[in-house]
Structure 1
């Protein structure tokens, strides 16, 4: 089959070439008034007949530009746009391959501040830190979604899971007219809004609302996309309904309704399934009926929603979700939004593991099996109130409340043997646990601006309160053989209560020193975290047949307080292309633990330290930038690590804290560089991250001859982690319908860890390399083909001579193909091959995973009938190998098996004159 795919791609590519004529147009943009070059002018070509955008670029610091491409046309219109200047327009006759236009002078637009109508709108504008795209300039299929549109924008990448990057940086927020559309799932926005109702796409650095209000700089690590809707399209309803049923009693249903009326928005969604999907993703046949999203072969790609694990690697999950979102504007000064989500799930899983434990002088082997059943119901509400009293005063309030209940039934058994396979100890355990959790939090801030040079004052107050109540019934038996035999039987009930409260308040004042270029921030922050832990354990009384014998050894009653004040100063500089800042903090912290059952274990420790950070970012041009940052942070030991309480809840592993632990510190250095050339379709992105840690807290265990473990904690020095990634991409536009893209990536890693193994201190060094390559071929409305290969190689070496070197290799191949012929049909195939030659015998080393979907759209493309085949080859597996300095473990658990599903979906849309119809593209199952 893979040969057929390859032949099909080569055939399409062959016919694509040679059908159009190449051109290269160069020139210089200058100001007519002062004869200076104009950087970041938008230069673009349009067809004479219909003004269709052909290609575009941005002028560099010298005003130079180059436009390259292929076309069937003999004449094209050249247009140049620059803020404050009149649009320059020339007709270009393509009578030769290379055309040099020389110097092009642009005249100042004296009517720029008046309301004038400009017939030609540039496809892209650069406004300080904002890239703005005019949607009309980008031609897509008539029924295109926002995701389809984003794929056409320069520097924007949308992967098969819907994740978006701009110039190599992750998009972590998508807004509609400056406001979130529905929660934090950007795919709900990109897959449910159509291009027809969007007027502009604006891309900026992600900032908090408070920082955006005062114009404070962001770190530039993430991007925000804002979609502006045409005024005439901002009223109406849209949404979709879908349901499907299949073999093996598999099902899925989902529905979403949206009402827009200018600033008022109401959205309702609901969904459910038993195919390991969150239940409310809307990617048509890709996500709505996508089955186990990100199927985990060898343990890669599981994901979590509200604490529940989804995917192919952790059992079978039945989920249901519903939600309500509301946003409105009250008057001219107040914005209000709120949402409610309910999620419920039931999960069943069985797992087995084989572990080879490595000690300095010997090895032993542990086999374990477990079976679990879990059910969870959670409710979450979030609200936000924004008050813009005037242009200088902003108030933000964000209260939220969460409530959840869960039940978990677990049974497990474990056996350990020495190198001669002699049984040393074994244990059995069964438990029934009920949890009830409540959480309330509120964030309040008030920001006041002074003057027009960037001065501001900000006050904030945040609080969070959590309470968890637990009922735990436990039956366990541990048998210890060898030199000192012992049999430990427990039948217990534990009534637990955990409470925590966090209070944080502070103030920030910015004082400009040199206008808006250089400023000084003064920061103060006070934090207080208080935790209360009560665990009452009762042994079963055989005489009275009740749990009434209090067990002090397994009970706790303590209060833990972390009280700290942070005094900081931050110097920031920003001018033109350069941004730099330096921040220093002094931290005064006190940790206190009060143990009401064991007063002799009370501790109180003071920690005073300094934290530093700085970063520099330089933008060479709109196409390239470089950044470097340094951060020094301190890590305070946790309560469980500090208190000398001896935890004997696990008879095979006793844990006791170390009250003499020191504060750890880390030094982080990050370097990144990205360069994207819109004209040539090339992109380069690379980063290097390093983390050097001193006084890091690690576990220190001692194992006796009976394999009984006693664990405490120690500080170690010399740990570090270095990792990076380099990727190069090239996009070749064969003609207006066909493109080929290449992406080559390389990710090296180096890690050094200092640990203890049976009281012996040692260091381990892990080296890894992860090369990858991806090719994409797109033939508009006909074919999309995405082959991708990734290899991961890891080598572990140790400072202890009798620890053997470890080497592991894994291979992953993905073949994604979509065809859209004949008309109204869409056929997708997602094939992945995973191979891990190092997996232990008895576990599956390799597997082909093939999903296929055939969709037919009708009723003017507003309805779709879909046939889905999941795991056609019936080889889904999640066998995994984990290698550390202390053990090598192979494991395998329940996975979603093969099924077939027939589904129906219907979409409706009254926003604007056109409704949404089918979407295309890939989703990785």
Structure 2
């Protein structure tokens, strides 16, 4: 363990920016007309050679300002204030202190005859939009957009491609204001070239309804819009990369973008066995994959939970992904069309060993499972959006989304349960095979109409959705129950055919009541039809005999009527809205196998309220409350026994009631462009009435039966805070805070049990960059975990985890670049016998850019240099402690060659960017 630490310390010392000298430039700004200090004036320092922004600040109440830079040389000083003419001067920095003395500013009122026109602004603030001029932030010639975003003050790009702006996650990324690959930020950021971008706009996007009606509903989504350069819209660019390595690793990809005016064509493809499994392919959000069907009464729609087929580091993956995009406009932009297609195939082979210690009211025991799994999944998805502007007041929009998913799995399990004293309780060997196909189609037709009176609107939205899931499977199992001195075996064939057809029509009308008040009325009708046929057949001496104990056939129908009203008040800095919907929902479940029926009727009120206070353009406080129901799923209601895992059998409960959730959210956001500082805080508290929980019974042989029941007293509270500080000696520090407290209730062997699970921890980060030559980052995230149950107060599961990561890149002359990243995860032991629960990873690469335009890049990458990577995961709560080890990617060497090509698109001429402008 000492060698990696020495390597890390040596690398930090060699690259440490702390040894770089700091130079200070100070002065005082004065108003020559009023003979008073020029308070809060913007002051920026630009490098004279290329006008790249080096530092910026605001003058204080006395007109004083101080700027810092880490390099001596020639600079440009810009002083900007709406009431004064822009002041420009050349400053030579040679000493540690460069006093500028008093700087007199001339009032615009005194020189109305002079007009100053400039378009060389690096950061512009217009309302709640922050706009960055891309060329003001230096990137390498063929960097993608994600590398550009890393250099913009207030923006972060994580290892997983997740993008944050001022502490908030960016959920949409647009290109010239339109969707591009379904506005997935990861795909856009890794597909487009940074040199093709003119402006990067960051703003809080209003909801579609608010944008249409002009009535602010307080809803916001953090969004980035990339405005392309004119020459980038008249050509094409992309890249092709091929890589192979030792032992038997490969990684190949190709991308192309061809833009011409309003027409955009793009495509990408990728194949690898190095876990590079897709540019933001979001399996859980985009596809169901044969998961569990749920009903959301407030939206009156069914949704399908994902099947967890995305790669999470467990096993050895092979993946192929690709996609294509086309969009265009015609008829004077009144008719627009965009379409996307995505394909993904993944094969994962995983081997794992898990050890779980179960904590029961009167005993404890451990269960050890060894498993081998092979999963093959394929996914196709196509979506199109066509919009026609009928006239200046009305529009029609049609959206189609279709998907086809196929998943095959084969698994072998061998488990053994033992008492803490080593006595054998049970063992089980199990073979499972399954194959599932899912087909889905969603169609949405939206009509919108604006009337002569501003704010008076009408919209009609129809949604129709079809889902079909068909699957077959095989289950072979052998169980020995030593406590009961019995044994049992299973040889079964399983099939499932589930279909869902839903339709929803929603009508919305908005009416302005005054300059500050507005009313919104809505009504919706929904119809849902679901058919679930699940069969289990015993293969007895070559014959298939249906097993009614583990089979079912249900028809599940839902009819919903819902109406509501929302009253909104919009003041200059305050937005207030409150109201709710009343829903009448009727469920009917027919058991076709036993010719019985269950009916449910719910009359619910969904209250909602929001309060937003916008102190300034970049400072806001928001509070919201929403009440909603959680309906039991069909699997929880229907009395079907599922023996897929013979030691854990679920039993349905047709008497289960709906749960009602109360959700309170508070958020605060403050970002200062001039100082580069930001504060973001989000707090959420959710408590549930009639929460859906479990009633568990574990017998002496270790078999677990569980039935869903309603409980009270469940709540969850969490908090996330992020603080970005101004640079200190060229280093940008950041601090985040995470806290989570979860309380849940259930029943174990007839006893009521309360579970308390807590997690707390700060996070600390440092980031340093010097142009495109050096970048350094360090992250440290400790976490404290505590779990305890009321039935075993004598047992407290508490431990610390520590995660650290260090990244560094160094660009040398002649196109050579070095890079490395080190991650070190330390987990406190819960048992002296634990081994291999700490992971130390060290990766590095060297690359060489060739040809005159540096468009050809050769690269050598080494993964897990020390061959120390292990697959490890720990899951704890008050009832069990589970530790899982599994096979994963270890040391390999990959050689790759990448060609970046472009025609007409690319770098724009230098505009002398560097000024910061604030527009009220």
TM-score using structure 1 length? 0.87
Query: How far off is 1:805 after superposition?
Result: 1.3
Of 654, 675, 681, which residue of structure 1 is paired with 2:676? 681
Which residue in the other structure is 2:841 paired with?
849
Structure 2 matches for 1:174-573, cutoff 5 A? 174-209=173-208, 211-217=210-216, 219=218, 221-280=220-279, 308-312=309-313, 314-332=314-332, 333-451=334-452, 453-483=454-484, 485-515=485-515, 517-542=516-541, 545=542, 547-573=543-569
Which residue in the other structure is 1:921 paired with?
none
Stretch deviating more after TM superposition (878-887 or 121-130): 121-130
Structure 2 matches for 1:659-678, cutoff 5 A? 659-678=654-673
> Does the 8 Å contact 1:243/1:903 carry over to 2?
yes
Which residue in the other structure is 2:287 paired with?
none
Q: Unaligned 5+ residue runs, structure 1?
A: 283-303, 917-925
> Does the 8 Å contact 2:41/2:63 carry over to 1?
no
Alpha-carbon distance between aligned partners in 1 of 2:40 and 2:654, rounded to the nearest angstrom:
60
Query: How far off is 1:867 after superposition?
Result: 0.3
Query: How far off is 1:679 after superposition?
Result: 2.6
Query: How far off is 1:563 after superposition?
Result: 2.4
Deviations 1:212-254 (A, max 9, x none): 3433536555311111123233111111000111112111111
Alpha-carbon distance between aligned partners in 2 of 1:711 and 1:810, rounded to the nearest angstrom:
32
> Does the 8 Å contact 1:55/1:67 carry over to 2?
no
Query: How far off is 1:562 after superposition?
Result: 2.7
Structure 2 matches for 1:8-19, cutoff 5 A? 8-10=14-16, 12-17=17-22
Q: Report the 3-state secondary structure (helix = DSSP H, G, I; strand = E; otherwise coil) of the residue aligned with 2:795.
A: coil
Query: How far off is 1:591 after superposition?
Result: 1.7
Query: How far off is 1:363 after superposition?
Result: 1.5
> Does the 8 Å contact 1:491/1:540 carry over to 2?
yes
> Does the 8 Å contact 1:425/1:707 carry over to 2?
yes
Query: How far off is 1:91 after superposition?
Result: 4.1
Deviations 1:107-146 (A, max 9, x none): 99999xxxx9934444443333333334455455566543
> Does the 8 Å contact 1:29/1:41 carry over to 2?
no
Q: Report the 3-state secondary structure (helix = DSSP H, G, I; strand = E; otherwise coil) of the residue aligned with 2:390.
A: strand
Structure 2 matches for 1:746-825, cutoff 5 A? 746-825=737-816
Alpha-carbon distance between aligned partners in 2 of 1:383 and 1:45, rounded to the nearest angstrom:
47
Query: How far off is 1:636 after superposition?
Result: 1.8
> Does the 8 Å contact 2:74/2:90 carry over to 1?
no
Of 12, 18, 30, which residue of structure 2 is paired with 1:6? 12
Alpha-carbon distance between aligned partners in 2 of 1:692 and 1:715, rounded to the nearest angstrom:
14
Which residue in the other structure is 1:607 paired with?
602
Alpha-carbon distance between aligned partners in 2 of 1:752 and 1:806, rounded to the nearest angstrom:
15
Asked if residue 76 in structure 1 is aligned to residue 77 in structure 2, the reply is yes
Query: How far off is 1:534 after superposition?
Result: 0.9
Q: Unaligned 5+ residue runs, structure 2?
A: 1-6, 92-97, 282-304, 910-920
TM-score using structure 2 length? 0.88
> Does the 8 Å contact 2:161/2:280 carry over to 1?
no
How many residue pairs are counted as aligned between the two chains? 867
Which residue in the other structure is 1:740 paired with?
731
Asked if residue 589 in structure 1 is aligned to residue 582 in structure 2, the reply is no
Stretch deviating more after TM superposition (876-885 or 216-225): 216-225
Asked if residue 731 in structure 1 is aligned to residue 726 in structure 2, the reply is yes
540 and 886 in structure 1: CA distance in 2 versus 1, 3 angstrom threshold: same
Query: How far off is 1:794 after superposition?
Result: 0.9
Which residue in the other structure is 1:293 paired with?
none
Alpha-carbon distance between aligned partners in 1 of 2:476 and 2:371, rounded to the nearest angstrom:
15
> Does the 8 Å contact 1:28/1:65 carry over to 2?
no
Alpha-carbon distance between aligned partners in 1 of 2:626 and 2:62, rounded to the nearest angstrom:
38
Which residue in the other structure is 2:691 paired with?
696
Alpha-carbon distance between aligned partners in 2 of 1:171 and 1:809, rounded to the nearest angstrom:
30
Query: How far off is 1:818 after superposition?
Result: 1.0
124 and 43 in structure 1: CA distance in 2 versus 1, 3 angstrom threshold: farther
Deviations 1:131-171 (A, max 9, x none): 33344554555665433433443433333444322222221
> Does the 8 Å contact 1:169/1:222 carry over to 2?
no
Alpha-carbon distance between aligned partners in 1 of 2:107 and 2:306, rounded to the nearest angstrom:
55
Alpha-carbon distance between aligned partners in 2 of 1:598 and 1:401, rounded to the nearest angstrom:
35
Alpha-carbon distance between aligned partners in 2 of 1:834 and 1:772, rounded to the nearest angstrom:
14
> Does the 8 Å contact 2:566/2:577 carry over to 1?
yes
Of 623, 627, 633, which residue of structure 2 is paired with 1:632? 627
Alpha-carbon distance between aligned partners in 1 of 2:76 and 2:200, rounded to the nearest angstrom:
29
> Does the 8 Å contact 2:550/2:641 carry over to 1?
no
900 and 906 in structure 1: CA distance in 2 versus 1, 3 angstrom threshold: same
Stretch deviating more after TM superposition (50-59 or 816-825): 50-59
> Does the 8 Å contact 1:45/1:79 carry over to 2?
no
Q: Report the 3-state secondary structure (helix = DSSP H, G, I; strand = E; otherwise coil) of the residue aligned with 1:3.
A: helix
> Does the 8 Å contact 1:839/1:890 carry over to 2?
no
Query: How far off is 1:707 after superposition?
Result: 2.5
Deviations 1:645-703 (A, max 9, x none): 44455543343222332221222221222222223332222222111122101011112
Query: How far off is 1:425 after superposition?
Result: 2.2
> Does the 8 Å contact 2:549/2:640 carry over to 1?
no
Which residue in the other structure is 2:611 paired with?
616
Which residue in the other structure is 2:573 paired with?
577
> Does the 8 Å contact 1:407/1:433 carry over to 2?
yes
> Does the 8 Å contact 2:860/2:896 carry over to 1?
yes
Query: How far off is 1:548 after superposition?
Result: 2.7
Query: How far off is 1:336 after superposition?
Result: 0.5
Query: How far off is 1:623 after superposition?
Result: 3.4
> Does the 8 Å contact 1:277/1:310 carry over to 2?
no
Stretch deviating more after TM superposition (143-152 or 383-392): 143-152
